[in-house]
Structure 1
Amino acid sequence: MIERARRLVRDKQGVLTRDLLRAPGGFGLGQVPQRLQPDATTTVVCGFCSIGCGLDVHFKHGQAVNLSPTTQYAVNLGMACPKGWEALTPLSAPDRATSPMLRDAGGRLRAVDWPTALDTFVSRMKGIQAKHGKESIAFISTGQIPMEEMALLGALGKFGMGLLHGDGNTRQCMATSVVAYKQAFGFDAPPYTYKDLEESDVIIFIGANPCIAHPILWERVCKNPHQPEIVVIDPRRTETAQAATRHLPLRPKSDLVLLYAVAHVLVRQGWIDQGFIDAHTSDFEAFCEHLKAFTPEVAAEQCGLSIADIEGLARTIHDGKRVSFWWTMGVNQSHEGVRTAQAIINLALMTGNIGRPGTGANSITGQCNAMGSRLFSNTTNLLGGHDFANPQHRDKVAGILGIDAACIPSKPSWAYDQIMEGILKGRIRGLWVIATNTAHSWINQADAHDILQRLDFLVVQDMYHSTETAAFADLVLPAAGWGEKEGVFINSERRLGVIKQVAKAPGQALSDFRIFRLIAEAWGCGDMFRKWESPEAVFRLLRACSAGMPCDIGGIDGYRMLDAKGGIQWPLPAGESVDAGSERRLFEDGRFYTDDGRARFVFEAPRPLPEPTSPAYPFTLLTGRGTSSQWHTQTRTSKSHVLRKLYPNVPYVELSPRDAADLGLRANAWVIVRSQRGQVRARAFVSHVVQPGQVFIPMHDAATNQLTFAAFDPYSRQPSYKACAVRIEPAPTVNS
């Protein structure tokens, strides 16, 4: 089988065989697809965040030269954030990975050819399995690659290579919402459409800053003709809070108590939709009993708000005719994020604000294809939202894929943090990291670095050879990026949109899809994936897998249909039609995906912060998005000269004027922010944006996660990046 893989690669310059060059699907090398005219324009979905904007890529003499936002695309309506405008720039960065690289005996990464890389991957990984068992290898995937590549990786790893453990970096951003929706609605089903932002008369953002994190959504808010009441619940006076009609600056991680207190007032005042509750929900009486302890007086003391704030929010919800609730990482990245998300869902259910225009309990996703990862990556669930533990589901998927159902594991993978712990305990010895940057983004960075160094073999598959994680790799596999391959992303509102190959990948870089196919051949399981000949062929397999599930996409014929319709929201079962540019929400009939069709009220007593402040560490550290021109670990945005001009070029920490005065610090002074795990040197940015006793550092700098505390939600296993204890002290003078 390795010889078969060798024949697919001609030489170390990466010139592929004629068959591979002719293969459909944008595999990474060769010219831009011939169906595009030399000076054509084509529409693609942006590859940064989950909003899923349409971008028109313009060609001149057959080369993609620039782009502009698509005016008729239902998502962004001719708008783009700075990242979207610069989406092509990262493709030409000088630190692109252009050939496989293998660490030599002297510890240096050296360029090798693809046959050597494949031989090494297979021999080292199989050697680990032979010595330590099949479960001694794991993979960490991403929300940054198309769903067809995610599915192929998950199938190759789980069905072909016999791996049990593989998770995605969507665990860091969306796992909380996934579990919250599953437990409340019976399926991971964000119910909304972006149009709801324009149709609400009350919009409530909890732990969300769309002005910065999702600026196109804020533009949709600005198009709302109803003069909506906009409430922001956030410890910081964020850009969104400054633009809102009301800001509730609660204490960090007291949001669960606040939401229960608001529900308490709604019940006490009779401001609920009893008809909707009786017809469409369950467990409401138990929820009311739970709420008795959460009076406004109790919540005001714990949240640092006034009783009037809490009662006023309840009245605003009651007075609204179309109330929508929106949350993102401020809720998800918490030690009790699932229950907090469900407290938001409970407010929507008890007031009947779901299934109608301008309503909903709406989780805003992070990464461009996090929704695709949630449904089709074979990590937390079997393809198409199926259950690994359900034998009927395993038989169904196996029949569609033409494989033995015995190849499909009967239990799900460990979560990301459990894989990391497995490495620490010596149970995971080989790790394959695809399109994510664990050494930067994982919580408590010092521990993460120590863990990565304990591996017997680490493979990093990425666009760039310069990532913090690649620095630990034994083998680097060069991957094509967005714009250099084809596939489908699913955005926050469940819209499937097409990405296209508009540029050729550099050097020997290949699409992740083609790399997975080569590894399958080299591993000896290539026959299992004969049907997986192109991304669109895989899309058709996934379409079949989704049949009968809430995310059914059987009515989507293929890429041409998605392109012509301007994206399509799931579900669209076979036999149903959809208008171009349509926007559709879920639960309009009041039926949910539970066995009895009723939504569940889910609740639990709040838990204290895992790491409270102390005299030694008196400040609570908050982290989050810094500017709209930055993205996650800046692996791509840092490649743009334009984007770099739009954000600070040195680390900074926001602190209040009162705290700066107490510490004797002047604005722009260098300080040390220290936790029990590490320290960061940063400029002091003195501002009323943060409250006394709190500080804020953007998540994009690699040093930020030297401070964070590794706490996890017990249900979603999502890390709690948003609150840990730190202290601030003047930085020693550095001699030039």
Structure 2
Amino acid sequence: MLARLLKQHTGPLTRDLVQTPGSFGLGKVPERLKPVGTTTSICGYCATGCQLKLHLDASGRAINLSPQAHYPVNLGMACPKGWQALDPLDAPDRGTTPLRRTAQGDFESIDWATAVETFVHRFKSIQQRHGHHSAAFLSTGQIPFEEMAFLGCLWKFGMGFHHGDANTRQCMATAVSAYKQSFGFDAPPYTYADFEESDVIVLVGANLCIAHPILWQRIVRNPRSPKIIVIDPRATETAQAADQHLPLRPKGDLPLYYALAHCIIRDGRIDSNSLERTEGFEEFRHFVRDYSPAAVAEATGIDSDTIETLAHQVSEPGKRVSWWWTMGVNQSYEGVRTAQAIINLCLMTGNIGRPGTGPNSITGQCNAMGSRLFSNTTSLVGGHDFANPEHRLKVSRILGIPLDAIPSSPSLAYDQILDAAERGEIKGLWIVATNPFHSWIDSGRLAALREKLEFLVVQDMYSTTESAQVADLFLPAAGWGEKQGCFINSERRIGTLKAVRTPPGQALADFRIFRLLAHAWGCDSWFDSWTDPEAAFLQLRDLTLDRPCDITGIRDYQHIDQSGGIQWPYPKSMTTPPHPTHADRVGELTERRLFADWNYYTPTGKARIHFSPPAPPPEPPNADFPFLLLTGRGSSSQWHTQTRTAKSDILRKLSPQEAYLEIHPEDAAILGIAANDPVKVSSRRGEIIVAAYLAPTMQRGQVFLPMHDRRVNQLTHPSFDAHSRQPNYKACAVQISSAKTSSPSKKSRTSPAE
């Protein structure tokens, strides 16, 4: 049986892998051939969710691409990564065969039958000896949600393990927790059209010009001449393009927003109709009495007059105010309360549910929203709750899974899984389409943790990632462009991706790998109906019935394509727009926001106001480590750990050629550092040497490193938000010295302090 499955899944592309014009040839396509057809696919990088038009040769192989002109998200635009999305598929270091670590420590090539047998034997042995809590998976926001759901259901229901989490924990857990607590469900309320409908746009810790350039272009299209305000410690590219930049002291967000609430309540600029649909306002009113502008000026670095002015700008009656945040809020030790402070301001002023308004979290990865709803990690698949017996019964009935196979509690979070591995409680780890040995906070700790694991499997496109290089078993996976499925973008829009290339060698789509493993484990009968991604989609669609994310009105993949993507919720009661193509329907018919009636997903139907006093930073600067290190995106041409973008010659040329540290020129002068000098950046966890970039856009006493270099997370501080378990990547204490002289920054302590 396994041999038949292997033959089926390693042959030419079949219906379950591709639905594009023509048939695939397996030979190399001559460069002289011109495109003879097109199809579309959602870009596989960030969560903007741009649609690309893929130009195909006569065999159905993509040979070029361009942005889709009328798609409601990108409207004919694409960032550099989107334009070069095909390049990573041709990289010479693609994984083409399964690899197994030998007793001598080297990798040997093996066939799929051996790889699958090794996987099953090792994990079953761990389970038999140590129990159902002894292994975990760490997954991704980069694969289709049909694959995410298959992985989570296979691991937890079929294989009987309990723990698994996704790297969306690193980017979106804060927003998820904030929305769930405030609205009763993880429900970003907005649509991208709100960028073009706002009178005031507040961007918090969000460098859209670099991280989400298409969304910045949506702002530029706004005909209302909006006031654009950026709240960010750095004078980022976005801050420089805005009307106003508030150079906040790092992690001064929470007291600032409490001070804004103080002013708005004091002056009576609240929306009583909106507040009638909230709970907890009177307690909040009492709480913020102590947060006057004068009281928070030192903590925020913003003077009282500026705070008073901002309070008026975000609460002016009749003005449409939208707030947008990304990792500057999410990746914090108190990010959930900061996000909820923004939500509270919108609830107080009625800036929610209407065009051009909202507390709006911009997602990081292409399918982070799909992971939030379908990965079966923190939430039971389909937006359900593990602890709810009715939800478990529904999942059992619709998916045909025995009820007693569905756990009644969620997994450990990402950091807790790694803690358990460090304690020797997690013995086996399966890493799928992510690279934690580069991306995880305080990454040097993972090298020691690796020694505690009995078995490490990495499933990825490339065998050269930091994580794959230390694996016991490597499984070669297909990438974007080589499989089909669906992504869900930041504004809740579901879009399809297509297979337009054949995976190299023996590489398989993750969906195919999960099918093989289900059979070898002996639970394949539970997944008989999961024959292909679209068949899985139809089951997952039915599973969302009566949930806030209900998409039971979607017929199939073709319906999604014809509609220009479909935002959830889309229940069966939703009528299909009358126009035949989405090109005619850019506007309200393809743009839908939540909470227009101010009815929320809580038991009472009311939003909840949450708050708590600001906490001190976990690692403030001191005499030994006097600088505060900030991290973030460095270029619109780079993506996360550069696993894919580094494969493109063009993207490499568009990006900085070496790692660099942004430092204020006056700080650099005191330290004897000139432009491009090598500098040593040291934290309590490690040190790295990079080039100095003198940047007056930095505040004194602060420095910035782009996150893309593999060494950066050797420095970051392992602290986490108490509600979301999201890592605090953005701020830690460091010392800076010239690598020529090794003169530590603590000898020049007066510079940052001034």
The TM-score range, normalised by the shorter chain, is over 0.9
Looking at structure 2, the residues matched to 577 and 472 of structure 1 have their Cα atoms a distance apart, in angstroms, of 52
Decide which of 33, 40, 49 is 2:46's aligned counterpart. Answer: 49
Match of 2:296 in 1: 299
1:470-490: CA deviation from partner (whole Å, max 9, x where unpaired):
011000000000000000000
What amino acid maps onto 1:445 in structure 2? S
1:217-267: CA deviation from partner (whole Å, max 9, x where unpaired):
000000001111001000000011001111110110010011101111111
The answer to whether the 8 A contact 2:9-2:508 is kept is no
Decide which of 699, 703, 715 is 2:723's aligned counterpart. Answer: 715
- How far residue 464 of structure 1 moved from its aligned partner, in angstroms, is 0.4
The answer to whether the 8 A contact 1:33-1:501 is kept is no
Looking at structure 2, the residues matched to 24 and 512 of structure 1 have their Cα atoms a distance apart, in angstroms, of 12
Decide which of 34, 39, 63 is 2:36's aligned counterpart. Answer: 39
Match of 1:335 in 2: 333
Looking at structure 2, the residues matched to 166 and 627 of structure 1 have their Cα atoms a distance apart, in angstroms, of 31
Match of 1:625 in 2: 633
Decide which of 705, 718, 722 is 1:697's aligned counterpart. Answer: 705
Specify the SS of the correspondent of 1:603.
Answer: coil
1:479-507: CA deviation from partner (whole Å, max 9, x where unpaired):
00000000000000000000000111000
The RMSD of aligned alpha carbons is 1.7
Match of 1:315 in 2: 312
Looking at structure 1, the residues matched to 187 and 241 of structure 2 have their Cα atoms a distance apart, in angstroms, of 29
Match of 1:196 in 2: 194
Q: In structure 2, do the counterparts of structure 1 residues 183 and 17 end up closer, same or farther at CA, with 3 Å as the change threshold?
A: closer
- Greater shift, 543-552 or 311-320, is seen at 311-320
- How far residue 23 of structure 1 moved from its aligned partner, in angstroms, is 5.0
- How far residue 381 of structure 1 moved from its aligned partner, in angstroms, is 0.6
Looking at structure 2, the residues matched to 699 and 558 of structure 1 have their Cα atoms a distance apart, in angstroms, of 39
Match of 1:288 in 2: 285
Specify the SS of the correspondent of 2:192.
Answer: coil
Residues 519-534 of structure 1: pairs in structure 2 closer than 5 A: 519-534=517-532
Match of 2:16 in 1: 24
Specify the SS of the correspondent of 1:378.
Answer: coil
Residues 99-118 of structure 1: pairs in structure 2 closer than 5 A: 99-118=97-116
Residues 174-189 of structure 1: pairs in structure 2 closer than 5 A: 174-189=172-187
Looking at structure 1, the residues matched to 138 and 19 of structure 2 have their Cα atoms a distance apart, in angstroms, of 21
Match of 2:752 in 1: none
The answer to whether the 8 A contact 2:19-2:498 is kept is no
Match of 1:575 in 2: 573
Looking at structure 2, the residues matched to 21 and 483 of structure 1 have their Cα atoms a distance apart, in angstroms, of 12
1:50-86: CA deviation from partner (whole Å, max 9, x where unpaired):
0000100001232311100000100000000000000
The answer to whether the 8 A contact 1:496-1:568 is kept is yes
What amino acid maps onto 1:638 in structure 2? A
Specify the SS of the correspondent of 1:135.
Answer: coil
Looking at structure 2, the residues matched to 426 and 6 of structure 1 have their Cα atoms a distance apart, in angstroms, of 36
1:687-720: CA deviation from partner (whole Å, max 9, x where unpaired):
1111001000000000100100000000000000
Q: In structure 2, do the counterparts of structure 1 residues 720 and 33 end up closer, same or farther at CA, with 3 Å as the change threshold?
A: farther
Decide which of 250, 257, 260 is 1:252's aligned counterpart. Answer: 250
Looking at structure 2, the residues matched to 730 and 264 of structure 1 have their Cα atoms a distance apart, in angstroms, of 45
Match of 1:382 in 2: 380
Match of 2:749 in 1: none
Residues 128-147 of structure 1: pairs in structure 2 closer than 5 A: 128-147=126-145
Match of 2:751 in 1: none
The answer to whether the 8 A contact 2:191-2:591 is kept is yes
Q: In structure 2, do the counterparts of structure 1 residues 21 and 271 end up closer, same or farther at CA, with 3 Å as the change threshold?
A: closer
The answer to whether the 8 A contact 1:617-1:727 is kept is yes
1:658-699: CA deviation from partner (whole Å, max 9, x where unpaired):
211111111111100000000111111011111001000000
- How far residue 9 of structure 1 moved from its aligned partner, in angstroms, is 2.2
- How far residue 135 of structure 1 moved from its aligned partner, in angstroms, is 1.2
1:706 is aligned to 2:714: yes
Specify the SS of the correspondent of 1:9.
Answer: helix
Match of 1:354 in 2: 352
1:91-121: CA deviation from partner (whole Å, max 9, x where unpaired):
0000100000001111011110000001100
Q: In structure 2, do the counterparts of structure 1 residues 596 and 99 end up closer, same or farther at CA, with 3 Å as the change threshold?
A: same
TM-score, normalization by structure 2: 0.94
- How far residue 21 of structure 1 moved from its aligned partner, in angstroms, is 5.4
Identity of aligned residues (%): 59
Q: In structure 2, do the counterparts of structure 1 residues 16 and 570 end up closer, same or farther at CA, with 3 Å as the change threshold?
A: closer
- How far residue 139 of structure 1 moved from its aligned partner, in angstroms, is 0.3
Residues 425-444 of structure 1: pairs in structure 2 closer than 5 A: 425-444=423-442
TM-score, normalization by structure 1: 0.96
The answer to whether the 8 A contact 2:10-2:506 is kept is no
Looking at structure 1, the residues matched to 181 and 696 of structure 2 have their Cα atoms a distance apart, in angstroms, of 39
Match of 1:449 in 2: 447
Match of 1:93 in 2: 91
The answer to whether the 8 A contact 2:137-2:163 is kept is yes
The answer to whether the 8 A contact 2:635-2:655 is kept is yes
Looking at structure 1, the residues matched to 90 and 13 of structure 2 have their Cα atoms a distance apart, in angstroms, of 21
Specify the SS of the correspondent of 1:134.
Answer: coil
What amino acid maps onto 2:283 in structure 1? A
Looking at structure 2, the residues matched to 249 and 213 of structure 1 have their Cα atoms a distance apart, in angstroms, of 19
1:390-421: CA deviation from partner (whole Å, max 9, x where unpaired):
11000001000112111100000000000000
Match of 2:662 in 1: 654
The answer to whether the 8 A contact 2:37-2:58 is kept is no
- How far residue 33 of structure 1 moved from its aligned partner, in angstroms, is 9.6
- How far residue 8 of structure 1 moved from its aligned partner, in angstroms, is 2.0
Q: In structure 2, do the counterparts of structure 1 residues 137 and 477 end up closer, same or farther at CA, with 3 Å as the change threshold?
A: same
Q: In structure 2, do the counterparts of structure 1 residues 31 and 451 end up closer, same or farther at CA, with 3 Å as the change threshold?
A: farther
1:314-370: CA deviation from partner (whole Å, max 9, x where unpaired):
011122610000001000000000000000000100000000000000000000000
- How far residue 449 of structure 1 moved from its aligned partner, in angstroms, is 2.0
Decide which of 152, 155, 158 is 1:157's aligned counterpart. Answer: 155
- How far residue 26 of structure 1 moved from its aligned partner, in angstroms, is 4.0
Specify the SS of the correspondent of 2:314.
Answer: helix
- How far residue 440 of structure 1 moved from its aligned partner, in angstroms, is 0.2
Looking at structure 2, the residues matched to 318 and 506 of structure 1 have their Cα atoms a distance apart, in angstroms, of 56
- How far residue 22 of structure 1 moved from its aligned partner, in angstroms, is 4.0
Match of 1:681 in 2: 689
Specify the SS of the correspondent of 2:133.
Answer: helix
Match of 1:496 in 2: 494
1:25-67: CA deviation from partner (whole Å, max 9, x where unpaired):
3499x96499xx9721111110000000010000123231110
Looking at structure 2, the residues matched to 360 and 238 of structure 1 have their Cα atoms a distance apart, in angstroms, of 23
Looking at structure 1, the residues matched to 498 and 9 of structure 2 have their Cα atoms a distance apart, in angstroms, of 20
Runs of at least 5 residues in structure 1 that lack an aligned partner in the other structure: none
Looking at structure 1, the residues matched to 208 and 448 of structure 2 have their Cα atoms a distance apart, in angstroms, of 35
Looking at structure 2, the residues matched to 99 and 60 of structure 1 have their Cα atoms a distance apart, in angstroms, of 27
- Greater shift, 297-306 or 510-519, is seen at 297-306
The answer to whether the 8 A contact 1:27-1:510 is kept is no
Specify the SS of the correspondent of 1:431.
Answer: strand
Match of 1:544 in 2: 542
1:285-314: CA deviation from partner (whole Å, max 9, x where unpaired):
000111011110011111111111111100
The answer to whether the 8 A contact 1:70-1:76 is kept is yes
Looking at structure 1, the residues matched to 6 and 274 of structure 2 have their Cα atoms a distance apart, in angstroms, of 61
Q: In structure 2, do the counterparts of structure 1 residues 16 and 283 end up closer, same or farther at CA, with 3 Å as the change threshold?
A: closer
Looking at structure 2, the residues matched to 16 and 510 of structure 1 have their Cα atoms a distance apart, in angstroms, of 7
The answer to whether the 8 A contact 1:453-1:472 is kept is no
Decide which of 49, 55, 60 is 2:57's aligned counterpart. Answer: 60
1:273 is aligned to 2:271: yes
